[in-house]
């Protein structure tokens, strides 16, 4: 790991997003609250928060840092679900990995919850895709 002992604590925020392409049936079930496994929005949000908190366990060289805030937005769009995660911290390193981990876990949770409706007659997923996972913006500033 990189030694950050000598670095001062700085306010940091990172905003990441990603998208999962889904079939019309899955999207209809999500919107109508008819997914057998439960509320997709709630489960995706909890998955994102858990992943943010556990990022150092998933990414080997990622420092454990104090997370001071997590915001998760999950929206059903015309052709899939978009997830946005914003992570805040006052610490020695950035929170980009935490935001990306949150988005990734939320998208995987969505896939898991609707996979029953996504499979074709051969049990494959010809339409389902996780796409466009990215850090949209990050910021750091000294508190005054």
**Phi-psi map region of 123: left, alpha, beta (phi>0 left; psi -120 to 50 alpha):** left
pLDDT band at 141 (very low <50, low <70, confident <90, very high): confident
40 domain-assigned: yes
1 domain-assigned: no
123 domain-assigned: yes
Q: Which of 78, 79, 112, 120 is catalytic?
A: 112
142, pLDDT greater than 80: no
- Which candidate, 13, 83, 15, 76, places its Cα nearest to that of 46? 83
**Can you give the pTM of this predicted structure?**
0.95
Is 112 in the active site?
Answer: yes
4 domain-assigned: no
Interval 138-142 mean pLDDT: 89
Interval 41-70 mean pLDDT: 97
5 domain-assigned: no
Tally of domains in the chain: 1
pLDDT band at 128 (very low <50, low <70, confident <90, very high): very high
pLDDT band at 143 (very low <50, low <70, confident <90, very high): low
Beta carbons of 48 and 103 less than 8 angstroms apart: yes
Q: What does the pLDDT read at residue 75? A: 98
Q: How far apart, in whole angstroms, are the C-alpha atoms of residue 6 and residue 10?
A: 12
144, pLDDT greater than 60: no
88 domain-assigned: yes
**57-79 tens-digit pLDDT:** 999 999 999 999 999 999 999 99
Could you tell me the residue range of the domain that residue 53 belongs to?
A: 10-139
User: Which CATH number belongs to the domain containing residue 76 in this structure?
Assistant: 3.30.70.640
């Amino acid at each position: 790991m990189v030694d950050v002992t000598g670095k001062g604590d700085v306010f940091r925020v990172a905003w990441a997003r990603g998208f999962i392409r889904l079939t019309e049936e899955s999207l209809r079930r999500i919107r109508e609250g008819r997914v057998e496994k439960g509320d997709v929005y709630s489960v995706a949000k909890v998955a994102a928060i858990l992943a943010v908190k556990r990022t150092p366990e998933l990414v080997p060289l990622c420092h454990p840092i104090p997370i001071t805030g997590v915001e998760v937005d999950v929206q059903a769009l015309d052709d899939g679900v978009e997830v946005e995660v914003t992570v805040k911290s006052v610490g020695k390193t950035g929170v980009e990995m935490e935001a990306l981990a949150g988005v990734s876990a939320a998208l995987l949770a969505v896939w898991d919850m609707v996979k029953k409706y996504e499979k074709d007659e051969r049990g494959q997923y010809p339409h389902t895709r996780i796409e466009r996972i990215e850090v949209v913006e990050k910021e750091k500033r000294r508190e005054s």
